[in-house]
Amino acid sequence: MDQGLKTADNEREHGGLIVREHDPLNLESPFNALDGIITPNSQFFVRSHFSIPNIDVPGWQLSCGGHVARDIVISYEELVKLPSRTLTSTMECAGNGRVFLTPKADGVQWERGGIGTAEWTGVSLSVLLEKAGLKAGALEVVLSGADEGELIEPPKTPGRIRFSRSLPLSKALSDEVILAFLMNGEPLGSQHGFPVRAIVPGWYGMASVKWLEQIEVVDQPFQGYWQTAEYSQWKRLAGEPVSAPVAEMQTKSQIARPGRNERITPGTRYRIFGAAWSGEANIAQVDVSTDGGKRWSAAHLLGEQLPFTWRLWEFEWQVPSKPGRYELMSRATDDSGTIQPSKHSPDHNAYMIHHTLPLDIEVR
Amino acid sequence: MDQGLKTADNEREHGGLIVREHDPLNLESPFNALDGIITPNSQFFVRSHFSIPNIDVPGWQLSCGGHVARDIVISYEELVKLPSRTLTSTMECAGNGRVFLTPKADGVQWERGGIGTAEWTGVSLSVLLEKAGLKAGALEVVLSGADEGELIEPPKTPGRIRFSRSLPLSKALSDEVILAFLMNGEPLGSQHGFPVRAIVPGWYGMASVKWLEQIEVVDQPFQGYWQTAEYSQWKRLAGEPVSAPVAEMQTKSQIARPGRNERITPGTRYRIFGAAWSGEANIAQVDVSTDGGKRWSAAHLLGEQLPFTWRLWEFEWQVPSKPGRYELMSRATDDSGTIQPSKHSPDHNAYMIHHTLPLDIEVR
């Protein structure tokens, strides 16, 4: 294993990405530049909570223990020799769109670019779990990364902690959850979890733990910081709110072009272009409004639906000959019948922001 | 049932109590006035999260449902006819002592008076649970009060919510957990949960749900607002912090007299006086230091230990003939060997504040 791998993209500039935060590093993708299903690695958003861990392949190992028949420790070389699979998956940051919340919410002020799609190659988590052997009563699988530190702004961390998230057993055992070591055919960049990260298709990005170093099977619901103090939502149980981890991505669409405040020539035809996605369902329909949500028309869905992957769409707009400001909106419907809502739910805290957003453009 | 009960103490002044907050009503007991095991009702601290509910006895009923064989609804008249028991129990607010935290923590700035002891009369929760019949898989019992509202300061509530807390089945079925309707022999005051509140001996006050209206047996760990967003702590599971509800009171002692900045005559004998308690253990020892914690001497424990009740103690201090400022401290040890710590644990957030506190006094 070549140590050179490790620094493969360390020297790259953040060119093409928008810096939301330098330390920890949070970079937003230019959603306006959307051009096909796959987001190039150089344009893929980066979400980190602490400093990027400096991991070399010879020193890396992954342990799998807890409520299992036998503890396992596996090296990078051993991992990549296991049967692997390649899948395409869209990953959205749970806070994508936070800047559009009113009142303003704390946290990274993502606009539309906390999302991207890549082709990931890795070993199904279920392969390792089968090797370890689940004990009766196994309930969740906790994934922990090597990234760690202390947050002193509320919600404060209890001292130094690392990043950990759990998956229910049903999701953890589904073949699509992989321990990925390639991203669009290249070794993971250091910002993307080198050498190995989890990919949890259909779930918001926080579940796809980067710099993975430990897998722990537990027999109790895991109540770690990153699914209680942060990345938590309120679910209703007989009408009463109960705290639950943020999990599946919600049905959503975004307009990539035109961009905000773009000027469009009156009387022309303009191709409105964007993407739509839903966590574990498929996109059935996208509608577009050019009058701020009064009237809606069906957009044209492009290509084929890949599982866990956004669907690109377009809408040929007959631009009015009358100059003025117009409010464009898109609205996705998935094949379970869920429609993108018009308002943010307070039960989602400052996450899962998927309501329809007006895009103000100028025709003149 | 006389409706007159309802307003029994409504007209009373807050005389004798220190107002920490008017709306919602939060009143602190004058701990300095400690005088015997029982805190008079008029001096008992009040902790409320919303407006005091206006409940009349004819309109009140208590439901018990969820994971039970049969749903039950019981009136006040039916409840008070069930076999009842009377027990003495010390109740400390989980935020008692918060004003002494550095850095300053948000929340009601309790000093030493968020604590009191009363004789409570009521029906064991287990009596109702037996009537309802627990189904297999029953795990926790959720108690809900009639107090409700919306908090807009972080941690924000998800809209209007009511106050709910859960107990593990083991605690819920212990006979000492009662549905109380008398406090020191009088009907509960409206601020104390009229007509019926839970009393959960050994636990911080938030578990003793006031204005009780619903009992719900659940088969999953309850993740309500009042044990996740608030009144939660970090417990260590193999060293990793996991969120858990604040529960048992911690081993603690407080000095009632002298008071802060009290002047004491040099060369005299002074009786330092206070109380010590521990959630589900008994107090084994109290030590006192008059030099800021350098040297400790055993205090004298007064009376007998009652279960779940604070122990009063005294220490005869030979006041130095040399005038100056002295730092008094007390430190409790319980019969499980737990010693009151010298520092606040960050794992306890802004709750469970039980470290030893220096009390500055002047000898001259």
Mutation target to probe the B interface, by most B beta carbons within 10 A, among A151, A227, A234, A348 is A234
Structure tokens at B180: 């109380």
- Neighboring chain A residues of B242 at a CB cutoff of 8 Å: 222-224, 228
**Torsion (CA) B21, B54, B204, B93 in degrees, nearest 10:** 10
**B139 in contact with A, Cβ within 8 Å:** no
Interface test with A, best of B228, B230, B344 (most A CBs within 10 A): B228
Structure tokens at B24: 């919602």
Q: What is the 3-state secondary structure (H, E, C) of chain B?
A: CCHHHHHCCCCCCCCCCEEEECCCCEEECCHHHCCCCCCCHHHCCEECCCCCCCCCHHHCEEEEEECECCCEEEEHHHHHHCCCEEEEEEEECCCCCHHHCCCCCCCCCCCCCCEEEEEEEEEEHHHHHHHHCECCCCCEEEEEEEEEECCCCCCCCCCCEEEEEEEEHHHHCCCCCEEEEEECCEECCHHHCCCCEEECCCECHHHCCCCEEEEEEECCCCCEHHHHCCCEEEEEECCEEEEEECCECCCEEEEEECCCCCEECCCCEEEEEEEEECCCCCEEEEEEECCCCCCCEECEECCCCCCCCCEEEEEEEECCCCCEEEEEEEEEEECCCCECCCCCCHHHCCCCCCCCCCEEEEEC
Nearest C-alpha of chain A: how many angstroms from B27? Answer: 27
What is the average pLDDT across A266-273?
98
Min distance A298 CA to chain B CA atoms (Å)? 34
SS3 A36: coil
Q: In whole angstroms, give the CA distance from residue B270 to residue B361.
A: 12
A234 contacts on B by Cβ (under 8 Å): 158, 225
> How close does chain A come to B106, measured CA to CA in Å?
10
Chain B closest CA to A134's CA: distance in Å? Answer: 19
Which pLDDT value is given to residue B70? 98
What pLDDT is stored for residue A153 in this prediction?
A: 87
Paired with A301 in beta bridges are A313
A225–chain B nearest CA distance, Å: 6
Structure tokens at B312: 């009063």
pLDDT of res. B81: 98
Q: Report cis status (omega within 30 of 0) of the bond before B155.
A: yes
Of A106, A159, A242, the CB nearest to B223: A242
Q: Is A267 on the interface with B (CB under 8 A)?
A: no
Cβ neighbours around A322 below 10 Å, total? 10
**Residues of B with CB below 8 A from A155's CB?**
155
Model pLDDT for residues A49-64, shown as the tens digit of each residue:
999 999 999 999 999 9
CB A224 within 8 A of CB B243: yes
Q: Do B222 and A242 touch (CB under 8 A)?
A: yes
For residue A125, the surrounding DSSP H or E stretch is helix A125-132
Q: Positive or negative CA dihedral for A18, A21, A22, A27?
A: negative
Interface contact flag, A221 B222, Cβ < 8 Å = no
Q: Look at strands A232-237 and A240-245 and give their pairing.
A: antiparallel
A161 Cβ under 8 Å from any chain B Cβ:
yes
Q: Indicate yes or no: CB of A240 within 8 angstroms of CB of B158.
A: no
Backbone angles phi, psi at B254, to 5 degrees: -135, 145
Residue A58: asked if its preceding bond is cis (omega within 30°), the reply is no
Token pair for A184: 């669009």
Chain B contact for A156 (CB, 8 A cutoff): yes
Contact A225 B232 (CB under 8 A): no
What ipTM does the predicted assembly reach?
Answer: 0.87
pLDDT digits (tens, 9 = 90+) for A140-177: 999 999 999 999 988 999 999 999 999 999 999 999 99
Chain B residue at shortest CA distance from A349: B158
Q: Contacts of residue B144 in chain A, CB cutoff 8 Å?
A: 240
Alpha carbon distances (Å) from B360 to B100, B275, B354: 13, 18, 18
Q: What is the three-class DSSP state of A347?
A: helix
Q: What is the pLDDT of residue A39?
A: 98
CA–CA distance, B284 with A82 (Å, rounded to integer): 59
Chain A: nearest CA to B198, how far in angstroms? Answer: 20
Distance separating alpha carbons of residues B94 and B98, to the nearest angstrom: 9
Written as six digits, the tokens of B121 are 């009369």
Task: Tell me the pLDDT tens digit for each residue of A219-243.
Answer: 999 999 999 999 999 999 888 999 9
| CA–CA min distance B193, chain A (Å) | 21
Nearest to A57 by CA among A216, A165, A211, A200: A211
Q: A223 contacts in B (CB within 8 Å)?
A: 242-244
Q: What is the pLDDT of residue A144?
A: 98
* Cβ-defined contact of B346 to A158 (cutoff 8 Å): yes
C-beta separation of B328 from B315 below 8 A: no
* A252-363 placed in CATH 3.40.50.12280: no
| Strands A178-183, A115-124: pairing kind | antiparallel
Residue A8's pLDDT band (boundaries 50, 70, 90)? very low
| Residues of chain B found within 8 Å of residue A209, distances taken between Cβ atoms | none
Domain limits of chain A? 17-245, 252-363
Torsion B81-B84-B89-B93 (CA) sign:
negative
The answer to whether A259 and A358 have CB atoms below 8 angstroms apart is: no
What pLDDT sits at residue A199?
A: 98
Residue whose C-alpha is closest to residue B362's, from B313, B319, B329, B331: B319
What's the pLDDT at A16? Answer: 85
pLDDT of residue A262: 85
Find the angle CA(B98)-CA(B26)-CA(B87) to the nearest 5 degrees: 90
Sheet holding B212-218, edge to edge: B72-75, B61-66, B212-218, B140-149, B161-168
Q: Residues A90-143: pLDDT tens digits?
A: 999 999 999 999 999 999 999 999 999 999 999 999 999 999 999 999 999 999
Most B CBs within 10 Å: which of A156, A164, A240, A352, as the mutation test of the B interface? A240
When CB atoms are compared, the residue of B158, B161, B241 closest to A158 is: B241
CA dist B56 and A342 (Å) reads: 42
**Which residues in chain A are contacts of B152 at CB distance < 8 A?**
none
Instruction: Lay out the sheet containing A300-301: strands in order across.
Output: A252-257, A269-277, A311-318, A300-301
Per-residue pLDDT of chain B (364 residues; tens, 9 = 90+): 333 343 334 334 577 899 999 999 999 999 999 999 999 999 999 999 999 999 999 999 999 999 999 999 999 999 999 999 999 999 999 999 999 999 999 999 999 999 999 999 999 999 999 999 999 999 999 999 999 999 998 899 999 999 999 999 999 999 999 999 999 999 999 999 999 999 999 999 999 999 999 999 999 999 999 999 999 999 998 889 999 999 999 999 999 999 987 899 999 999 999 999 999 999 999 999 999 999 999 999 999 999 999 999 999 999 999 999 999 999 999 999 999 999 999 999 999 999 999 999 999 9
Q: How far apart are CA B319 and CA B326, in angstroms?
A: 10
**Residue among A151, A217, A233, A243 with most chain B CBs within 10 A, to mutate:** A243
Distance from CA of B220 to the nearest CA of A (A): 9
CATH class, range A17-245: alpha beta
d(CA B17, CA B29): 5
Rounded Cα gap, residues B202 and B337, in angstroms: 17
Contact B232, B246 (CB under 8 A): yes
B135–chain A Cβ distance below 8 A for any pair? no
Rounded-to-10 torsion of CA A243, A247, A253, A255: 90
* Alpha-carbon span A37 to A311, nearest angstrom: 8
The pLDDT, as a whole number, for residue A238 is 85
CA distances from A171 to A196, A201, A215, B117, B219 (A): 19, 10, 14, 49, 21
Contacts of B223 in chain A (CB under 8 A): 242-244
**A261 compared with B70, residue with greater pLDDT:** B70
Q: How far apart are CA A126 and CA B285, in angstroms?
A: 54
A261 pLDDT tier (thresholds 50, 70, 90): confident
Contacts of A164 in chain B (CB under 8 A): 240
Task: Give the separation between CA A131 and CA A81, rounded to whole angstroms.
Answer: 14
DSSP-derived pairing of the beta strands B324-334 and B359-363 = antiparallel
Query: Would the CB atoms of B240 and A224 count as touching at under 8 Å?
Result: yes
**Which residue in the set B155, B164, B242 is minimally distant from A223, CB to CB?**
B242
B243·A221 Cβ contact <8 A: no
Distance CA B107, CA B95 (A): 8
Q: Which of B79, B58, B60, B53 is nearest to B2 (CA)?
A: B58
- Distance CA(B166)–CA(B231), nearest Å, equals 12
pLDDT of residue A154: 85
Q: What is the pLDDT of residue A360?
A: 93
Tell me yes or no: is domain B3-245 CATH 3.90.180.10.
Answer: no
